[in-house]
A and B are shown apart, each in its own frame.
Chain A
Amino acid sequence: MTDASALERAFATRADGVPAPAGGLVGVFGSGVPLPLIEATGARCVDIKAPPLDDAGTGATVPAVAALVEDFMDPFAARFLHRFAAGAFDRFALLIFARDDVAALSAYQYAREMRRLGHVPSRGPALHLWNLTHGLSAAIARFNRSELARLTDRLQAVLGARPDPDRFAAALEADRQRAAALAALPPGGAESFTARNAGRWMTADDHCAALKDLPVPAAPTEGPRIALVGTACDIPVLHDLCTGAGRIVADCQEYGPDPGSLWTPDEITPEALIDALAADPLALRATPPHRFTDALRKGIAGADLVISSVAPTDDAFGWEVPLLRRAVEGRGGRFLDLGFRPFRPDAAWCAEARQRMAETLA
């Protein structure tokens, strides 16, 4: 298997393609979870928020879930719940849900309640809510310390191991090497997006190895500089759309940035790791909330064109859009609001988006 196909396969099969190691498989729904700390128990972490690519066509629909999930639920949560009920995560030891993720709290509460009511079998992974609060205050830091202790206790209870300092250091070192390899990728382009995100379902070593021998993906070096903003997008559809229109210089949506980019791996303690995660200003629930607005504007600085698109279930990002437009246009840039982006956009949506992009850049 070539390195590119290993990345593509991991990206396509996602959690379904990951074997369970002896130390246990831990599923993670949402950002802000201390992955190196969990891996320091000997477990392996994989993203469970984004379903496999073929889920759109062949994914299970479980009647008991369909009866309980409202049609306005975030599609990541809805698909997770069907997959959960169909047994897709039965080989996992533990599933961790990040409270500050826009979809994870509902996914956690519904999964837990479906299990309590007997709508899904009680077998399968333990469920854990990771309550990390994004903020900088001393009170929040104290609270997050208690969450760290609660997580550590849960890891011990479920996996039979606490984070080991040597393994923690090794996980951070692997992440450092992964970050260096990712830095060689261009910020835009479907190939780069796929290669970057494949790491969510690969070990850091395997990801690094695949990235190291990967020819640098082709990406435009000329044309208008484009920034992407909006709600989570786990497929490279927007990167594809921008092909030929310009070069993507920033993807500020979830699944855009490198997930390990928040911390500096050298000499970091578990507590410092938690603080670094809590300080992420691009978390939508960051406190005080102006930090998110500021970080978003910083993220798109220098872009000639900013493209915004949101899930039809968006509650929160949409409150940023008019001011963001004003800020971009105020400095002479262009702003394209694509509006609602379907979970898996069809050809018609893409054609219209491409057309609107061309009109905006004309």
Chain B
Amino acid sequence: MTCAADAAAYQKAWVKDLRTRIADGASYAFVNADTPHELFHVMDVPIVTNQWWSAVIAAKQLAPSYFDRMEEMGFHPHLPRYSSLPLVAQIEGDTDRQPWGGLPAPALLCARASSDEHPRIFQRWSELTGAPLHLLSAPAVPDPAPDWWHRARTDWEAFYGTARLDLMVAEMEELIAALETLTGRRFDAAAFAAYMARIDAQERLFDKVSAMIADAPKVPMRISEQMPNVMIPQWHRGSDWAMAHVQAFHDEVVDRIRSGHAVCPDERIRMMWIGAGLWFDTGFYAAFEDSHGAVFAWSMYLPFAADGYIRADHGDPLRALAARVSAMNEQLHQPPWVNEWLVREARRNRIDVAVMLVPEHDRFSGYGSHFAREALTAAGVRVVEIRSDMVDPRQWDRAATEARVRAALDEVAGRTG
């Protein structure tokens, strides 16, 4: 069994257990991906992550009917989708067709105002379920230095700004107080510090794997395998299972590289997938291996586990967590951060072609795309821009998209061959 299969099996069992716990009345929190999950984990409050749940619904091919229903409810068709699919399912209320038979009411909601829709979507969740909402403020970094992946690891106080971090810490302390009330347990600062150190070790191992895959002569593992190997341990970051799994993932990659294993032995073109996963059609990632020797070598999840998460604690792990969270999503989407990071990653991974998912209705995720496109093009990378969505397949035309990518691959093959 490969690591990816192990991770999937673990997640399946964990989901089953969580579902049982929730059905038995355990309190859980419904949270956005860019919130401090660490606080929930250390307080032993189960969480369901909005974007993960959205991907689960999408993978079951339920999104089209929900988005059609969303418009029938009076929500306009240009509203963001990735973060709203679970809300629409919840409002629609037909729990029989939802994964798990639907979600019961959470005990607590948590989101960060990183984009304008999140406060509104979570306000609707709060009205629908009666759960209190903890909304974390998201003032922007006024003078963002381009090389965030260097500076944010240790020099984060100056990089993100003392006032912004003070605000995030204060709002996280309010969240901790709410979790203490919910659980009847006290927040253990020493245990939290130890837990944060474990997460740091986990992310440093991901950093190592990321560098190994970048340096390997040929891509040793498909991104469709990398994604579960990264994201599932990330959902459980710092746990015994996650630590062991990341080590096993590391070892498997080492073995594959050492033995000369290649996803595509005839690898000729290296590609990067820019954007969130194409959750309803992950088979797309392997579509060009036989025809063009073209392999997706990169998706954001593995390198971001290192660059987006490693934050030296400087003796104050709560503040380090604030640094991790306070611009988490922004680093992936806003100039100059996104364009500079993608060029650095493209160079490091010897990328020839970038396929960029531009979700025009998730504008927060779509902004910065053209800066990235221009920067990558200037760096010698051929960019194919795809207008689609991470969870909504209604505008996804697999054949047409493949044709566009193949045309780009032909062009690159002609250039390099």
Question: Which A residues lie at the B interface, using CB under 8 A?
Answer: 67-73, 99, 102, 105-106, 109-110, 112-113, 116, 128-129, 131, 133, 135, 137-140, 142-143, 146-147, 150, 284-285, 287-290, 293, 310, 312-323, 325, 337, 339-340
Contact = CB atoms under 8 A, between A and B. Distances in A.
Contact of A319 (B120, B174, B358): B120
Given A67-B374, A70-B358, A99-B140, A139 B117 contact: no
Contacts of A106: 367
A321 B75 contact: yes
B6 interface: no
Residue among A102, A105, A129 with most chain B CB within 10 A: A105
A99 B327 CA distance: 14
A110 B335 contact: yes
Contacts of A112: 335
Interface in B250-277: none
A339 B76 contact: yes
Interface of B: 73-76, 78-80, 113, 115-117, 119-124, 126-127, 133, 135, 137, 139-140, 142, 144, 146, 162-164, 166-167, 170-171, 174, 334-336, 339, 358, 360-361, 363-364, 366-367, 369-371, 374
Given A70-B358, A325-B74, A315 B115 contact: yes
A70 B144 CA distance: 21
Given A106-B367, A129-B142, A315 B360 contact: no
Contact of B120 (A69, A131, A146, A289): A289
Contacts of A67: 370, 374
Given A70-B370, A113-B336, A105 B140 contact: yes
B78 A314 contact: yes
Nearest to A324: B74
B123 A284 contact: no
Contacts of B358: 70
Contact of B75 (A71, A116, A137, A318): A318
B142 A310 contact: no
Contacts of A129: 140, 142
Given A68-B370, A315-B364, A131 B140 contact: yes
Contacts of B137: 133, 135, 140, 143, 287
B288 to A, nearest CB: 26
A69 B370 contact: yes
Contact of A313 (B120, B164, B363): B363
26 contacts: A67-B374, A69-B370, A70-B358, A105-B140, A109-B144, A112-B335, A113-B336, A131-B140, A131-B142, A133-B139, A135-B137, A139-B166, A142-B166, A142-B170, A146-B162, A147-B139, A147-B163, A284-B120, A285-B116, A285-B119, A289-B122, A315-B115, A315-B117, A315-B364, A318-B79, A319-B79
Contacts of A102: 116
B336 to A, nearest CB: 5
A36 B244 CA distance: 59
A1 to B, nearest CB: 41
Contacts of B166: 139, 142-143, 146
Contacts of A312: 78
Contacts of B360: 70-72
Shortest 5 CB-CB contacts between residues of A and residues of B: A139-B170, A322-B74, A146-B163, A319-B120, A289-B119
Residue among B121, B144, B367 with most chain A CB within 10 A: B367
A322 B123 CA distance: 14
Contact of B76 (A69, A110, A288, A314): A314
A146 B115 CA distance: 22
A289 B123 contact: yes
A322 B76 CA distance: 10
A287 B135 contact: yes
B74 A337 contact: yes
Contacts of B79: 314-315, 318-319
A285 B167 contact: no
Given A68-B371, A109-B334, A313 B78 contact: yes
A102 B120 CA distance: 13
A303 B376 CA distance: 53
A109 B73 contact: no
Contacts of A289: 119-120, 122-123, 133, 135
Contacts of A113: 335-336, 339, 371
Given A70-B358, A314-B76, A319-B75, 18 more contacts: A72-B363, A73-B363, A73-B367, A105-B140, A109-B144, A112-B335, A113-B339, A113-B371, A142-B166, A146-B162, A147-B163, A285-B119, A289-B122, A290-B126, A318-B75, A318-B79, A320-B120, A321-B76
A337 B71 CA distance: 13
B215 to A, nearest CB: 29
Contact of A140 (B116, B167, B339, B363): B167
Contacts of A288: 123, 133, 135
B370 A321 contact: no
A147 B414 CA distance: 54
Residue among A150, A310, A312, A318 with most chain B CB within 10 A: A318
B327 to A, nearest CB: 12
A305 B140 CA distance: 38
Contacts of B140: 99, 105, 109, 129, 131
Nearest to A335: B74
B92 to A, nearest CB: 12
Contacts of A318: 75-76, 78-79
Nearest to A312: B78
A284 B119 CA distance: 9
A85 B339 CA distance: 20
